[in-house]
Amino acid sequence: MWGGRFGEGPAAIMREINASIPFDKALWRQDLAASKAHVAMLGACGIVAGEDALAIEQGLSRIGEAFAAEGVPENWDLEDIHMTVESRLAELIGPAAGRLHTARSRNDQVATDFRLWVRDAIDQADAALIALQKALVNRAGEHADSVMPGFTHLQTAQPVTLGHHLMAYYEMLRRDRSRFADARARLDECPLGSAALAGTGFPIDREMTAQALGFARPTANSLDSVSDRDFALDYLTAAAQCALHLSRLAEELVLWASQPFGFVRLPDALSTGSSIMPQKKNPDAAELVRGHSGRIVGCAVALMVTMKGLPLAYSKDMQDDKPPVFEAHGLLGLSLAAMAGMIEGATFQTARMRQAAEFGYATATDLADWLVREAGLPFREAHHVTGAAVKLAEQRGVALEALPLADLQAIDPRIGEGVYRALSVDASVASRASHGGTAPAEVRKRVAEALAALENEA
Ligand code: ARG
């Protein structure tokens, strides 16, 4: 395709290092769509004769049928998907095929194809995020009243509800979705027609191709258009942040499924056994989601470093933009689907969770708050008194509410009978009814809002 000025063909190693067809064949649908839009425009603008434009358009359709049926052939001599399509077109329709590449370059072609691919990837990620959000919200509604220990430093802190805990992840995924939506909005400009780097002397209509491919408008600067990969980086950084969230949920599932915690049984279908220890049921899916997050972050870093310091406009380094995006997309899709399956199929051990909340002195703050509210102590003093009560309960190996009133009054005579109402984990969670708090009534409000928001999406 470009051999006119060369005395000899490429060395074997040149063919190999240069070939992107092994991975960029994934762009074949986008490449055909962009070529169809381009040739329709060339025909409409009188740059290519009507019958040639029609022949090219029909040839591209036949190539699409062939690729869908037989896959994309991988010939390293043809380098990439763009030349693979063009050479097949020449076989099908003859010399008129050569007119397709008028007023464009592979540089604007690949930038356009890849944007179209990333746009689809964003839509797929959003759909998978919605599915996981739905799973979380449904389980949260079911467990708006289920009490569990809330942790800071992974030490029992205050009782919370499982519904509240699950809704925390709903919020993270809501932000992930908005990051993907931002990426999609910024990507919404079409680079096609920027040609190699400087634009073209042919009287093309860039509005027409932009519109045909579903973009809001053509890009404004041809140099930027062929050298910009921000859309891929926006996708990858959104994916990386989403993967970080998934890794935290995965870690909690691993922890909760362990025998010392015993907070959850994961579905058999998403667990594995041990080849030597018959009693084992391992949370491998959760561990792999946790592990995949590292690879997804690695993909984002890989493309950032590839782009760092590249002069304008196109350089072949940029051909390496695609593998990390393809890899991250595959890993994220798997992670989101596995996580949705685990959340849907999890059996939460609510009795065990409640017991853990009751035995970790999780209502100590409630005792201190009661001393402030009912006995008028300054909070610092109440904190001190409560510390003494926790120490005594710990010495005896009992829960706070198991300490007799006389013993509590020996610590501070201002403690009265009413304190026991504050010491139950149910009273504790019910009292935290501030906006966004863990009270079951609040959690139910948030669940209802989330369901309405997800309903509007559908
Ligand atoms: N396969 C190339 C890529 O993915 C297409 C662009 C080639 N452009 C060029 N000037 N050689 O980046």
- Catalytic site residue from 146, 153, 178, 435: 153
Q: What is the pLDDT of residue 274?
A: 79
pLDDT at 70 over 90: yes
274 is known as an active-site residue: yes
Task: pLDDT band for 78, please (50, 70, 90 cuts).
Answer: very high
The residue whose C-alpha atom lies closest to atom 11 belonging to ligand 1 is 316
Ligand 1 centre to CA of 107 (Å) is 6
Report whether residue 110 contacts ligand 1, using a CB cutoff of 6 Å: yes
Structure tokens belonging to residue 402: 């198991």
Cα–Cα distance measured from residue 335 to residue 112, given in angstroms and rounded to the nearest whole number: 28
Q: Which contacts of 245-248 are long-range, i.e. CB under 8 A and separated by 24 or more positions?
A: 245/169, 245/172, 245/173, 245/176, 246/289, 246/290, 246/292, 246/293, 246/335, 246/336, 246/339, 247/289, 247/290, 247/293, 247/294, 248/172
Per-residue model confidence as pLDDT tens digits over 115-135: 999 999 999 999 999 999 999
Q: What is the pLDDT of residue 271?
A: 87
Helices within 272-316 (DSSP H only): 284-307
pLDDT at 62 over 80: yes
pLDDT at 2 over 80: no
Q: Is 456 exposed, middle or buried (0-12, 13-18, 19+ CB in 10 A)?
A: exposed
153 is known as an active-site residue: yes
Q: What is the pLDDT of residue 442?
A: 98
pLDDT at 458 over 70: no
Structure tokens belonging to residue 339: 């996580």
Task: pLDDT band for 276, please (50, 70, 90 cuts).
Answer: confident
Structure tokens belonging to residue 234: 């926006």
Burial 310-334, CB ≥16 within 10 A → b, else e: eeebbeeebbebbbbbbbbbebbbe
Per-residue model confidence as pLDDT tens digits over 139-187: 999 999 999 999 999 999 999 999 999 999 999 999 999 999 999 999 9
Ligand 1 centre to CA of 223 (Å) is 15
Segment 387-409 mean pLDDT = 93
Choice from 109, 319, 321, 325 to test ligand 1 binding pocket (greatest atom count within 8 A of CB): 319
Q: What is the pLDDT of residue 336?
A: 98
Closest ligand 1 atom to residue 106 Cα is 6
Per-residue model confidence as pLDDT tens digits over 340-356: 999 999 999 999 999 99
Segment 231-246 mean pLDDT = 98
CA 371 to chain centre: 45
Task: pLDDT band for 281, please (50, 70, 90 cuts).
Answer: confident
What three-state secondary structure class fits 279? coil
Structural element, H or E, at residue 431: helix 425-431
Q: What is the pLDDT of residue 280?
A: 82
Q: What is the pLDDT of residue 275?
A: 82
pLDDT at 3 over 80: no
Choice from 316, 322, 325 to test ligand 1 binding pocket (greatest atom count within 8 A of CB): 316
CA 224 to chain centre: 27
Closest ligand 1 atom to residue 322 Cα is 4
Segment 272-298 mean pLDDT = 92
Segment 100-111 mean pLDDT = 98
pLDDT, the chain, mean:
96
Per-residue model confidence as pLDDT tens digits over 17-47: 999 999 999 999 999 999 999 999 999 999 9
pLDDT at 262 over 70: yes
**Which residue from 212, 335, 211 is spatially nearest to 284, judged by alpha carbons?**
335
